[in-house]
């Protein structure tokens, strides 16, 4: 298994580009199932999760080609309704395929999705929403089988906000009979962007980007007459590089991002006295002489993203004072703290959802096991801050969300290599 070897303690400087967003492109891939013919998806990141999603489509009979960061997906020859168990279990986003597949084929067979080890991630909301739209769902030892002669519109309220749940039901409702209303819906930019593309191709979606979304279903499949689904820049990618710059940067410039998506993080930078500048599609940041401890609470968009929480915790190990980090989205997202403490951090669990981080602390290199995508990126930042050599194992998890991370960071002056 490949590892990342990092020698830390170096100041970083330069420019780095944000890639296409994982959480945008995966939903664009799933949306292809709503179409009668081919669609194109541009600005794709070359990451493992994209490869797994396209493999799932190919297993259903869809044609998939990739060239110069453009995916062409043709669902015209689709002949299956069963997702490959092994692949689907390896990626959380596989659940998003279930709704559009059911809407298209009247049947979908899928396992409980896998992916990151960040606590319980039930799919009750997906199942409840599809059942509200008329689906009959049966659980078995391998997963679930859903059937529906045709989905029908429903008035559905999410008990808790779910991004993937919102996107799945929104896409499913496009081919349903009648009107669907989704209440307490996720407001992430990726939801609004997906809806905008679908509307250009014949869908009738209103309110995406707000907490209430209305979809008027249509009888026929969508036709791609308006060009390409352009993957949004990855705001989690951008946030990670900004946190890296705040921790050890000398004017790191993050290019090809959407500054308007970064308000929550930038407000925390203000509170921590971290200097930054904003341009039309870039943000630059440098490490100040003193970083001040700042409390943070994760929330759904437009709040502070849970995916950035482990990275921000690393930054707070270098801050003066004590910060409280409150994780409200995933119940297992604090399981990385033991590894950071072994590197010299002083992080104390207050309860299963809150930790106290005292700083500044001197971090030292060591061998680390990456448990999930975002904790993996947090460990990279910690290793770059630390003195000495670190080895990060299980980097497949990092590759699932970050494209060629060692090459990109090397250009900033990092001493990082893959072995």
Q: What CATH number is attached to the domain comprising 402? A: 3.65.10.10
- Average confidence (pLDDT) over 40-52: 96
* pLDDT at 117 (0 to 100): 45
- Average confidence (pLDDT) over 151-160: 97
Q: pLDDT (tens digit, 9 = 90+) per residue, 77-124?
A: 998 999 999 999 888 889 999 999 999 999 999 998 765 444 445 688
Q: In terms of domains, do 213 and 352 share one?
A: no
Residue with tokens 């482990």: 310
The answer to whether residue 416 scores a pLDDT higher than 60 is yes
**C-alpha span between 308 and 286 (Å, rounded):** 18
**Hey, what are 226's tokens?**
């308006």
More confident residue, 224 or 178: 178
- Average confidence (pLDDT) over 4-23: 97
203, 230, 257 — which closes off a domain?
230
175, 207, 230 — which closes off a domain?
230
Worst-scoring range by mean pLDDT, 118-132, 270-284, 338-352?
118-132
Q: What is the pTM of this model?
A: 0.95
323 backbone dihedrals φ, ψ, rounded to 5°: -115, 150
* pLDDT at 197 (0 to 100): 96
Q: How many domains does the chain have?
A: 2
* pLDDT at 114 (0 to 100): 64
* CB atoms inside a 10 Å sphere around CB 354: 16
179, 208, 230 — which closes off a domain?
230
- Average confidence (pLDDT) over 11-28: 97
**C-alpha span between 89 and 110 (Å, rounded):** 9
**C-alpha span between 62 and 34 (Å, rounded):** 12
- Average confidence (pLDDT) over 9-13: 95
Residue-number span of the structural domain to which 89 is assigned: 22-230
Q: Using an 8 Å Cβ cutoff, are 153 and 83 in contact?
A: no
* pLDDT at 119 (0 to 100): 45
User: What share of the chain has pLDDT > 70, as a percent?
Assistant: 98
* pLDDT at 346 (0 to 100): 98
Q: In terms of domains, do 222 and 304 share one?
A: no
């Amino acid at each position: 298994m490949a590892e990342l070897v990092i020698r830390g303690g170096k100041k970083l400087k330069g420019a780095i580009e944000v890639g296409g967003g994982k959480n945008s492109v995966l939903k664009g891939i799933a949306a292809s199932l709503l179409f009668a013919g081919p669609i194109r998806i541009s600005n794709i990141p070359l990451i493992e999760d994209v490869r797994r999603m396209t493999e799932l489509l190919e297993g259903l009979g869809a044609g998939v080609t990739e060239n110069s960061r453009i995916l062409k997906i043709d669902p015209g020859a689709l002949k299956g309704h069963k997702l490959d168990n092994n692949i689907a279990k390896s990626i959380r986003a596989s659940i998003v395929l279930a709704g559009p597949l059911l809407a298209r084929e009247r049947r979908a067979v899928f396992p409980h999705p896998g992916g990151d080890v960040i606590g319980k991630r039930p799919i009750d909301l997906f199942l409840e929403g599809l059942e509200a739209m008329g689906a009959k769902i049966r659980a078995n030892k391998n997963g679930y089988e859903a059937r529906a002669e045709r989905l029908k519109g429903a008035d559905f309220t999410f008990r808790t906000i779910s991004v993937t749940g919102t996107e799945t039901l929104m896409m499913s409702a496009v081919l349903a009979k009648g009107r669907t209303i989704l209440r307490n819906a996720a407001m992430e930019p990726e939801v609004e962007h997906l809806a905008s593309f679908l509307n250009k191709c014949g869908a009738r979606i209103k309110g995406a980007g707000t907490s209430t979304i209305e979809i008027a279903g249509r009888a026929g499949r969508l036709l791609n007459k308006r060009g390409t689904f352009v993957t949004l820049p990855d705001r989690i990618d951008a946030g990670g590089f900004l946190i890296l710059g705040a921790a050890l940067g000398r004017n790191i410039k993050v290019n090809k991002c959407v500054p308007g998506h970064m308000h929550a993080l930038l407000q925390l930078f203000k509170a921590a006295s971290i200097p930054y500048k904003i341009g039309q599609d870039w943000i630059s940041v440098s490490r100040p002489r003193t970083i001040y401890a700042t409390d943070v609470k994760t929330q759904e968009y437009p709040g502070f993203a849970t995916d950035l929480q482990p990275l921000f915790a690393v930054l707070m190990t270098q801050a003066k004072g004590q910060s409280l980090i409150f994780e409200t989205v995933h119940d297992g997202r604090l399981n990385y703290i033991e590894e950071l403490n072994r590197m010299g951090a002083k992080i104390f669990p207050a309860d299963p959802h809150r930790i106290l981080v005292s700083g500044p602390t001197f971090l030292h290199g060591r061998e680390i096991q990456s448990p999930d995508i975002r904790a993996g990126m947090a460990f990279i930042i910690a290793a770059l801050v630390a003195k000495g050599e670190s080895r990060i194992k299980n980097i497949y998890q990092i590759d699932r969300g970050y494209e060629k991370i060692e090459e990109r960071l090397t250009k900033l002056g990092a001493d990082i290599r893959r072995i």
